A and B are shown apart, each in its own frame.
Chain A
Amino acid sequence: MRKTLIQVTAVVAFFALWKLYVTGFNVSSLVLPPPEAIAVALVELFASGEIWFHLYTTLIECLGGFVIACVVGMTLGLLLGRIEILDTIFKPFVIALQVTPKVALIPLFILWFGFGIESKIIVSAVLAFFPVFANSYLGARSVDRGLLELFDVGKSGHLRRFRILVFPSAMPYILTGMEMAIVLSIIGAVVAEFVAGSRGLGYLATIKLQELEVDTLFAVVVVLALIGFLLYFLVGSLRRFVIPWHESASRATI
């Protein structure tokens, strides 16, 4: 209760200082609009209905990218983590992908997948892939040795061992990767829209900048932040349902 009070006071103070700065130093609203102007722009965005189409587009792009990243990242991470020969073969490719600045690949993806949402989904997926992969890989490698021995003694087959032991053991790691991935998938979608979008929140932001509607630009950023918060929260709360047995189930990562 006391904590909440302190936090609310801090947020209110932040906006008050902002307002004070803007009026006190006579800052142009083209550089930094006052907080209430952003609030008004935000309401207008929704009231006019302009935002829904863009919001929907960006959501589809980042969720599509996220799902692809999760499926591919988890599969590759678990397989490479457990099968030595696959690890040897594919590790260089995975590392090469990780160290390449993926944003530089966006023009290439547009060339391959066009200007529609497909290329945005791919960019989003590529950005979100690595944390899911790396955490799944780590999870697959961290399976308790004692439990593996138990399955050796019981002469368990590979598939059942994978399903009953490896996959559940790795699940807390995979979920951590997913929490990191959902944020990156939003970044991927928005950046791709900046570069070559005709719709979506990233595109809307660039348009508002060109039209010098800085307060609306800020409002779009606020919407993106809210989406990020909501999706991160949703993915984070998966823990409670997927791994209720794990210590981390009762607390968020941050």
Chain B
Amino acid sequence: MAELRMVAPPDGAAAAERADPLVHIEGVGRIFRSKKAEVHALDDITLAIRRGEFVAVVGPSGCGKSTLLRLLCGLDQPTSGSIRWEHDRPGHCAVAFQEHRLLAWRSVLENIILPKAMRAAPAAADYERGRGLAKLVGLKGFEDTRPSALSGGMKQRTAVARALFAEPDLLLLDEPFGALDAITREKITADTETIWLNGQFTALLITHSIAEAVHLADRVVVMSPRPGRITGIVPVDLPRPRGRLIGEPPFVELVNRIRGMLQEDDDA
């Protein structure tokens, strides 16, 4: 398993990466300093994300996954290294957070079009597109409902629709389905894959769930905690859509391989 630590993406992918990375994270570190201690949340992270790619980051709590996400969307700055975007222009990000973060006083539709409303007056076309997205994530008929009347799964679907509405260069998913029950979670994961296949946007998923990562990602980045480091990058070459592959040998094999990498960190 040792060679996995150095695993590079497949050759073709590597070439594409050199040609056109949407964002290049280079030797990024983030240290949180307090009076008592220094916490190395991230240490020497190097990762390139290509346009149209779906990347998942798995790792135990405290491995800096969320810090990485916050650095990418500009909520935090690295203490070392750099994040370079295509054309040297900071990419436009949208985040579906772990908590739904919906505005309680706005309806589902008004929440979905929030990325527009928070910058300019929304036009009729925005509402139209918002309705389309509500339908896409399975919320047709609930456009005028307030979040308090929705189930946990529907709230997260609204949050995902809102992130999609922003049409970001990079869609960041910070374990948005983490708090849902297993059945709902699997359904939303499958729906997310379908939406991604039809939309071909670039996405970075942070998750605890190895199965979710293998289901959705082209590449799974495995991280270890204290300091947060990348211990390996596993390409997932399974055909899509992968919903029916769950439980099949190649899928399980990949899941086990990644689990092995995570456990190895534990033992070390």
Contacts and interface: CB of A to CB of B under 8 A. Distances in A.
A115 interface: no
B105 A243 contact: yes
Contacts of A155: 119
Interface string B98-119: 0101011100000000110111
B146 interface: yes
Contacts of A165: 103, 118
Contacts of A153: 73-75, 93-95
A102 interface: no
A50 interface: no
Interface string B145-162: 010100000000000000
B97 A146 contact: yes
Please classify the interface of chain B as helix (H, G, I), strand (E, B), loop, or mixed, using the class held by over half of its residues.
loop
A246 B118 contact: no
Contacts of B47: none
Contacts of B105: 168, 171, 243, 245-246
A106 B115 CA distance: 50
A164 B118 contact: yes
Given A160-B117, A245-B146, A245-B148, A152 B74 contact: yes
**How many A residues touch the partner, as a band?**
20 to 34
Interface in B63-105: 73-75, 93-95, 97, 99, 101, 103-105
Given A150-B95, A245-B146, A245-B148, A156 B103 contact: no
- The residue in B94, B104, B146 that gathers the most chain A C-beta atoms within 10 A of its C-beta is B104
Interface residues of B, number: 21
B118 A152 contact: no
B166 A154 contact: yes
Interface in A125-170: 144, 146-147, 149-157, 160-161, 164-165, 168
B119 A146 contact: no
A164 B104 contact: no
A147 B74 contact: no
Given A147-B103, A168-B103, A152 B75 contact: yes
Nearest to B94: A153
B93 A160 contact: no
B111 to A, nearest CB: 10
Given A160-B119, A164-B117, A245-B148, A154 B94 contact: yes
Contacts of B166: 154
B75 A154 contact: no
B101 A160 contact: no
Contact of B119 (A150, A154, A243): A154
Given A245-B105, A245-B146, A149 B75 contact: yes
A157 B142 CA distance: 29
Interface in A238-254: 243, 245-246
Nearest to A144: B101
Interface of A: 144, 146-147, 149-157, 160-161, 164-165, 168, 171, 243, 245-246
9 contacts: A144-B101, A146-B97, A147-B103, A149-B75, A150-B97, A152-B74, A160-B118, A245-B104, A245-B146
Interface of B: 73-75, 93-95, 97, 99, 101, 103-105, 114-115, 117-120, 146, 148, 166
